[in-house]
């Protein structure tokens, strides 16, 4: 299934992030034609940039490529429930569909906490599909944080 392939690509990015010592979250952006057009894992440490979450990086990369502030028809796959920053950026970029893996009760902003897409101050909400390859995404995070706790 296509959406599983896309999430597998996001999981590869999450694993690569873990190898760099970054929180293992990965994302890919899929064009209206169904092609992966940007991929990234977290790089907040490497870039010394607290906004360098995987979702922000793929949005910025594709927007720069298209010279556009908006990405209509694009779908984003990410291994973890986005935080409120990333959810708001998805909205600003007019992302069509959001597919995510594991829920994030600690820092999530979609199904938890700020629930960014549920307020009238949010001017575009993507369709949301959660729990895609959830076990793999959650295991990655667990294995990353276990020795650090």
Residues that bind a second copy (CB under 8 A): 44-45, 47-51, 56, 59-60, 63-64, 66-70, 83-89, 92-93, 105-109, 112-116, 119-123
| Smallest distance from a second copy to CB 116, Å | 5
Can you tell me which residue has the tokens 């597919």? 99
Residue placing its CB nearer to a second copy in the complex, 15 or 94: 94
Is 40:60 a contact under the CB 8 Å cutoff?
no
* Contact (CB, 8 A) for 13 and 39: yes
Active site residue 55: yes
Residue 101, H or E segment: strand 97-102
> Was 86 annotated as part of a binding site?
yes
Give least dist CB 13 to a second copy, A: 19
Which CB atom, from 16 or from 111, has the smaller least distance to a second copy?
111
d(CA 62, CA 20): 23
- Chain centre distance of CA 136: 15
Annotated binding-site ranges for Zn(2+): 53, 83, 86
The residues that are catalytic are: 55
């Amino acid at each position: 299934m296509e959406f599983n392939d896309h999430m597998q690509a996001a999981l590869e990015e999450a694993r690569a992030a873990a190898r760099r010592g970054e929180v293992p979250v990965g994302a890919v952006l899929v064009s209206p034609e169904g092609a992966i057009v940007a991929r990234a894992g977290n790089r907040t440490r490497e870039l010394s940039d607290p906004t360098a979450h995987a979702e922000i990086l793929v949005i910025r990369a594709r927007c720069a490529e298209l010279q556009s502030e908006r990405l209509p028809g694009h779908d984003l796959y990410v291994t973890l429930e986005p935080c409120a920053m990333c959810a708001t950026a998805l909205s600003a970029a007019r992302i069509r569909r959001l597919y995510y893996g594991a829920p994030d009760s600690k820092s999530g902003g979609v199904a938890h906490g700020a629930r960014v897409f549920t307020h009238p101050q949010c001017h575009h909400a993507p369709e949301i599909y959660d729990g895609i390859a959830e076990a793999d995404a959650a295991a990655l995070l667990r294995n990353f944080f276990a020795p650090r706790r």
